[in-house]
Structure 1
Amino acid sequence: MQDSKMIPLVIFLIFLCTCALTPVTGYPSGKVTSACRSMRPDHGHAPQAEPIHSINVDKTIFNPGDRIKVTLSGSRFNGFLVQARDVENLDGSAVGSFALIDERVSQLLTCGGIQNSAVSHTSKERKLQVEFFWIAPANSPKHVQFLATVVEKYKIYWVKIAGPIISQPNTPPIPSKNHSSMIPVVPPSLHKRFSPAGCGSTKFCIRNPVSCDPEHNPKCFFLSFRKDGQSVLVEMSGPGQGYISFALSYDHWMGDDDAYLCVKEDQGVQINPAYIRGRSHPEVSSPDVLRDVAWRLEDGVIQCSFKRNIQIPASKERFDLGGSYYIFLADGDAKDGLLLRHQRQPLMTNRMYNISGFPEDVGGSRSPLIIKFHGAMMFVAWMTTVSIGVIIARFFKPVWPTSSLFGEKIWFQIHRCLMITTVILTAIAFVLPFIYRGYFSKRAGYHPHLGVTVMILTVLQPVLAVFRPPPQTPRRGIFNWTHWATGTAARIIAVTAMFIGMDLQALDLPDPWDTYTMVGFVLWHVFVDLLLEAHGFCLLKKEYIGLFYV
């Protein structure tokens, strides 16, 4: 029992080691052209609010063609990205070009099709200060501001630190606007819980338990999609220790999926799109495709909402919301903003749905029906039919010593029917997981290996029975002991496999009641066996005493 509880822990520790070795979307080489527009690293963490680094220039008035020395300094940092942008359009493309002073610590990048329009680090070696030149273009805007993203370490970074503004001579003053603040990075909080009103009429909803209300039930997993013109408003809610997320998939397997993460971090929630390749850690993408993001934390419930365009042609990783997909809803732990493997099977719809089409109110299941049939058949086979069959053969021979049915003794016919039923149920149940997965599961620990052993012993028993010697021959004793040993080994291994299988995610049984139920069945069978053994002993003793006094 204790070993069965240790197996999921071992698998979990192996997964953690794998995650630790899995490359994340960091750029120690400084090749950060994918972040040119947002200037935000795809680290999946919230940026810091107050900058502790500064940008300085050697002059604030410039003419086209001038070279201006730019210095980025502050506490030690690993990475950086610096651009110059038009003050009137800080979200636009970079302007001008840079020239290096020390090629060992900085390098030039091409952003927005403009060569050398950004400068970044060459390695993750820690540094206190970097210097380079900015060259003003011929068509330079009247006012230019320098922006910098600085990474101290993976979790700690600052986005678009505002630097000094430089201007061309005799230009009008800068329009009244706060240019010294950083871009907003923390989404606003939601003021109230999500409501199921409109599910099935104005919005597509997934709820678990079925028809639960996220307003009043903190254990309700809720996901809704409401079409709003050319975009979709998404609301997601559920109890989560570290994160809740949903994914759109072309099949019912994890991998090649468009995912959206709501990760609890410190006292807030980080909302990001991501892409899942195979069973690896999600690859966090730029949040630029999301807007109107908001979140809420209360009583262990994570809630987040955002809008996303139905179609994003520029990104293959963002699926067209006008298509049909299987929908996954998962939750789990997170450490320092990094997602850990979920401890239970994600909730999944039973078929593909178009979330921007006709509104529906559906549920989902954490355990595939075919796996439930597998567990049910194995339970019936090894906790009922085989146990009753053994009891009949062991203790009911004296009850029907001479009665026969179809040419064989009644006890033997009942025993044979029950054992044939066990073989059939075991064989069907054995192939169901292979039909579902299509391969031998490597994540189920010892359970599939024990299952194969049980299947071999189950087939071996009727084969041995075919070659059963006549009752009075010397070989009959060898057969009896072999038959008993094979059957007993199969029962012990089958029960062990069931105890291990109950903890697997795919079955999603209520813990710890599943274990208590199995223990109860095992104890009941042991009690019945002991009771019948005692009863048989008393009968033999009574017969012996009767013979003694005759």
Structure 2
Amino acid sequence: MMVFNGCQLLEKEIFFFITLFALGTGLPQGAPESVCDTMLPFHAGGGILPEKSVSPFVVESAVSVISQGQTLKVELSGVPAGLNLSGFMVQARNWNPPFAIVGQFSSIRDGLVKLLSCDDSINNSATHSNAGAKPQVIIEWRAPLDFVGQVVFNATVAETYNKFWTGVVSNPIQVVKRDLFVETAQLPTKRLPTSTMKYFTTEAHYTPSEYISSNIVISSRMDVIYTDCGARKICFGLPDGCIISKSCISITAVTVRGNIFEFELQSGKGTKAVYVAMGLSDDAKMGEDLVIECVPENGRVSLYSSYTSNSPYAAIRSNVLQNSARLINASFVDGVIYCKVQREPLITVQGRNFDLRNDIYHLLVASGTTLKNTGIGFHDIGRSPSGNRINLAVVQDLIGNKMVLVRLHGAFMISAWTGTASLGVIFARYFKHTWVGNQSCGKDQWFTWHQSLMITTWILTVFGFVSIWVELKQAVWHAHSILGLVTLILCFIQPIGAFFRPGPTDKSRPYFNWFHWLVGNLCHILAIVAIFFSVNLSKSELPEWTDWILVTFVVVHCLSHLIFSIAMAASDRQLNQRVNAFQMGEMSHHQEAMRNGIIAATELDAPYAGLRKGLLGVYVIVVSFFVLVLILLVLLAPIEQYWSST
């Protein structure tokens, strides 16, 4: 056994030295056709891996739109000027699946380029013909006669034998029909090379990576980000289910090809977004996350890298290496922000490593309508974390985190203000003369029910406020939150006032009664209006027809008050007749008759007590139905995804 293992070891050593000797020249005649698919150099038998940093070499063309059969020049060069390359391999590929090699490179007379025929197509790839140092390489490429669409030049570039980069990609080139007149669109006049990026401080003037897109490329392809979702790339959008309908208000897509990590971001049409962002998070909550921001500025889409902090709670760009990501395509057309970004697979921020190849992360997607002096503002259009942490290289379908605290907030508030508060008001207003003589804990039945229901309302409101505060960790001001805060304040004022309630015979009791009535009704009305405003919030993910359920509830509630009021008026009239009847029956003893009549009348339930109790039973059933339906809508949101999956 040991002799066999020794022979194996000897064979491996011989093979290793032979491989080193054969490859020691660094493949001076260029890459072989055997690497057409991977474009990976087999340096040292595959033992030398590509560099992890962003490539200091770029692939550029003088134009961004050409016609079928037209020839353009492609330049490979280093940044800054003077950085030499020794070897390369370049192909033109369809920007859309199946990413096939397209077009044909022309023969070059400077002796620096050798043409390859991959996939049985003639001269569709190019490589170096010698391994000498070259400041730049210019290649001619001809567009196919039967192709319309976008192509990108994908290159592997080597600075030395053991130092090379893969996935060096150009900006997209649009190929149009020959009979279509196209005004040549120049590339950006200002495009900062990645090697000139620096660390920034909060006070520094940020100079992001910028790209000016051609509207011909993007305007007719607003749904390009949705292409191949779930097949070749991971897509995650807000709200859940929006990817199928291509209607996301914010979406991000991740594509991994070897050592290349590409992120696409897009805002929704009509959202009025001023930024779209995505982040990588360990815990599905904002804080200590690596973020990509795409922000339109002066007609250009700018790329920023940032890091979310807990104190202050914000996305901060300072001390984040800005050249860890590269903007390779972007547009801002009809209010829709789109960008495509390449990011390094390993980056260290604030002493923390983000390893995209080996670690798993939640995806965060967000967009908003405000910007700050040093970064993006709150994600008031929407924010959603993926439901689970994922390996970015494993294509899969994602759904959003159900945001349990947000759902609980909605359930608590609906239970409080459409349920217990509504019922508590009914008891206080219409049942003071019902269940007379049948007390609980020394208190009238109506008061016991009213007090218990309103205490429950207060508890549910506090729970609802705490749950949403824990979720957001900061104040967010819009109609719903402002009305909710006012409701919360009034909700605390009401029991404090009740605690200091003056006695029944106190001369200030009428003032208390009016104050208690006013605050209680105002609190109830504002809470219902706040629930209406919550329907349109992106976090709620409620269907628009939820408004009609709320309107129906309000109509039923108002009609119930009307019916109870009519019944109470009839009851009061008959009660007065009852008292007068006692008085008329004892005319000879008027004072005694008056006293006995009033006592007898008031010790009995007011007339129509049975009717009121029956109406109360119907009201409880109907209101419980509305509360149940609304809570289910909140907990199962977005409810449309359940229908679309059936």
TM-score, normalised via structure 2 length: 0.46
CA contact (8 A) 2:347 2:353 kept: yes
Matches of 1:316 and 1:251, distance apart in 2: 18
Q: Residue 263 of structure 1 aligns with which residue? A: 295
Q: Residue 573 of structure 2 aligns with which residue? A: 541
1:222 partner letter = I
The alpha-carbon distance between structure 1 residues 459 and 536, as it changes in their structure 2 partners (threshold 3 A), is: closer
Q: Residue 229 of structure 1 aligns with which residue? A: 258
The alpha-carbon distance between structure 1 residues 509 and 486, as it changes in their structure 2 partners (threshold 3 A), is: farther
Question: CA offsets, 1:198-235, max 9 Å, x none?
Answer: 62x75433133434336x52446432223222232223
Q: Residue 27 of structure 2 aligns with which residue? A: none
1:205 aligns with 2:230: no
Q: Residue 429 of structure 2 aligns with which residue? A: 394
Tell me how far 1:362 sits from its aligned partner: 1.6
Matches of 1:196 and 1:224, distance apart in 2: 10
**Structure-to-structure mapping, 1:232-247, within 5 angstroms:** 232-240=261-269, 241=272, 242-247=274-279
Tell me how far 1:352 sits from its aligned partner: 5.7
Q: Residue 80 of structure 2 aligns with which residue? A: 91
1:384 aligns with 2:415: no
1:371 aligns with 2:406: yes
Q: Residue 81 of structure 1 aligns with which residue? A: none
Structure 2 residue matching 1:225: 3-state secondary structure? strand
2:235 partner letter = C
Q: Residue 347 of structure 1 aligns with which residue? A: 383
CA contact (8 A) 1:250 1:257 kept: yes
Structure 1 residue matching 2:225: 3-state secondary structure? coil
Matches of 2:260 and 2:348, distance apart in 1: 13
Q: Residue 396 of structure 2 aligns with which residue? A: 360
1:306 aligns with 2:359: no
Q: Residue 283 of structure 1 aligns with which residue? A: 317
CA contact (8 A) 2:303 2:327 kept: no
CA contact (8 A) 1:374 1:433 kept: yes
Instruction: Give the number of the structure whose residues are more often helix, by fraction.
Output: 2
Matches of 1:313 and 1:494, distance apart in 2: 51
1:331 aligns with 2:358: no
Matches of 1:408 and 1:533, distance apart in 2: 24
Tell me how far 1:484 sits from its aligned partner: 6.6
The alpha-carbon distance between structure 1 residues 390 and 486, as it changes in their structure 2 partners (threshold 3 A), is: same
User: Of residues 523, 533, 541 in structure 2, which corresponds to 1:493?
Assistant: 523
Matches of 1:314 and 1:437, distance apart in 2: 24
1:383 partner letter = T
**Structure-to-structure mapping, 1:127-206, within 5 angstroms:** 158=190, 186=212, 189=217, 193-195=224-226, 197=228, 199=230, 203-206=233-236
Matches of 2:350 and 2:421, distance apart in 1: 57
Question: CA offsets, 1:32-80, max 9 Å, x none?
Answer: xxxxx99xxxxxxxxxx9xxxxxxxxxxxxxxxxxxxxxxxxxxxxxxx
2:225 partner letter = F
**Structure-to-structure mapping, 1:462-501, within 5 angstroms:** 463=499, 474=505, 482=512, 485-486=515-516, 488-493=518-523, 495-496=525-526, 499=529
Matches of 2:226 and 2:296, distance apart in 1: 21
Matches of 1:437 and 1:306, distance apart in 2: 28
CA contact (8 A) 2:325 2:341 kept: yes
Matches of 1:297 and 1:389, distance apart in 2: 53
CA contact (8 A) 1:232 1:310 kept: yes
Question: CA offsets, 1:377-415, max 9 Å, x none?
Answer: 233223321222232233134444455679876545543
The alpha-carbon distance between structure 1 residues 536 and 159, as it changes in their structure 2 partners (threshold 3 A), is: closer
Matches of 2:373 and 2:213, distance apart in 1: 16
Tell me how far 1:332 sits from its aligned partner: 3.3
Matches of 1:332 and 1:246, distance apart in 2: 12
The alpha-carbon distance between structure 1 residues 329 and 292, as it changes in their structure 2 partners (threshold 3 A), is: closer
1:381 partner letter = A
Structure 2 residue matching 1:425: 3-state secondary structure? helix
The alpha-carbon distance between structure 1 residues 517 and 488, as it changes in their structure 2 partners (threshold 3 A), is: farther
CA contact (8 A) 2:237 2:250 kept: yes
CA contact (8 A) 1:235 1:305 kept: yes
Matches of 1:491 and 1:256, distance apart in 2: 44
The alpha-carbon distance between structure 1 residues 490 and 539, as it changes in their structure 2 partners (threshold 3 A), is: closer
CA contact (8 A) 1:205 1:224 kept: yes
Matches of 1:512 and 1:213, distance apart in 2: 19
1:457 aligns with 2:488: no
1:237 partner letter = Q
Tell me how far 1:239 sits from its aligned partner: 1.0
Structure 2 residue matching 1:261: 3-state secondary structure? strand
Matches of 1:185 and 1:423, distance apart in 2: 54
CA RMSD of aligned residues (A): 5.2
CA contact (8 A) 1:312 1:319 kept: yes
CA contact (8 A) 1:272 1:286 kept: no
Q: Residue 8 of structure 2 aligns with which residue? A: none
Q: Residue 320 of structure 1 aligns with which residue? A: 355
The alpha-carbon distance between structure 1 residues 289 and 453, as it changes in their structure 2 partners (threshold 3 A), is: closer
CA contact (8 A) 1:271 1:293 kept: no
Matches of 1:273 and 1:300, distance apart in 2: 22
Tell me how far 1:443 sits from its aligned partner: 5.0
Matches of 2:344 and 2:448, distance apart in 1: 68
Structure 2 residue matching 1:91: 3-state secondary structure? coil
1:224 partner letter = A
CA contact (8 A) 1:454 1:494 kept: no
Tell me how far 1:458 sits from its aligned partner: 5.2
CA contact (8 A) 1:209 1:220 kept: yes
2:368 partner letter = G
Which is bigger in relative contact order (C-alpha 8 A, separation at least 6)? 1
CA contact (8 A) 1:202 1:359 kept: yes
CA contact (8 A) 1:405 1:413 kept: yes
Q: Residue 419 of structure 1 aligns with which residue? A: 454
Question: CA offsets, 1:497-521, max 9 Å, x none?
Answer: 5645765768546698777766765
CA contact (8 A) 1:225 1:355 kept: no
The alpha-carbon distance between structure 1 residues 453 and 266, as it changes in their structure 2 partners (threshold 3 A), is: closer
Q: Residue 529 of structure 1 aligns with which residue? A: 561
Matches of 1:310 and 1:296, distance apart in 2: 25
Structure 2 residue matching 1:194: 3-state secondary structure? helix
Highest Rg: 1 or 2?
A: 2
CA contact (8 A) 1:499 1:518 kept: no
CA contact (8 A) 1:441 1:448 kept: no
The alpha-carbon distance between structure 1 residues 314 and 283, as it changes in their structure 2 partners (threshold 3 A), is: closer
Q: Residue 588 of structure 2 aligns with which residue? A: none
Q: Residue 132 of structure 1 aligns with which residue? A: none
Question: CA offsets, 1:166-220, max 9 Å, x none?
Answer: xxxxxxxxxxxxxxxxx99546746851346462x75433133434336x52446
Matches of 2:332 and 2:211, distance apart in 1: 17
Tell me how far 1:328 sits from its aligned partner: 2.2
CA contact (8 A) 2:290 2:307 kept: yes
CA contact (8 A) 1:206 1:224 kept: yes
Q: Unmatched 5+ residue regions in structure 1?
A: 1-36, 39-48, 50-86, 95-140, 144-155, 162-182
